[in-house]
Amino acid sequence: MINTTSNKRSHAVTFSICSDLYIVPASEQDRSTTWYTSEDKQGFRRSMVKSIRKITRELEELPMGATMTQCQLLDCLGIELLITSGVARSAAEVRRAHIDAILSEQRLQKLQGVCDIDRISSISEERSHWTVERARKLATGYAALSMK
The whole-number pLDDT of residue 146 equals 67
The whole-number pLDDT of residue 99 equals 92
Domain ranges within the chain, ordered by starting residue: 36-147
The whole-number pLDDT of residue 2 equals 43
Q: How far apart are CA 55 and CA 81, in angstroms?
A: 12
The whole-number pLDDT of residue 1 equals 42
Q: Are 75 and 54 in contact (CB under 8 A)?
A: yes
Quick one: which of 146, 126, 129, 124 has its CA closest to 77?
146
| Average pLDDT of adjacent 10-residue blocks, the chain of 148 residues | 48 76 82 82 88 80 76 74 69 86 94 93 86 74 68
- The SS3 assignment for 19 reads coil
The single-letter code of the amino acid at 114 is V
DSSP H helices, the chain, are 28-34, 38-61, 70-76, 85-112, 117-127, 129-147
Residue 131: how many other CB atoms lie within 10 Å: 13
The whole-number pLDDT of residue 58 equals 80
The whole-number pLDDT of residue 103 equals 94
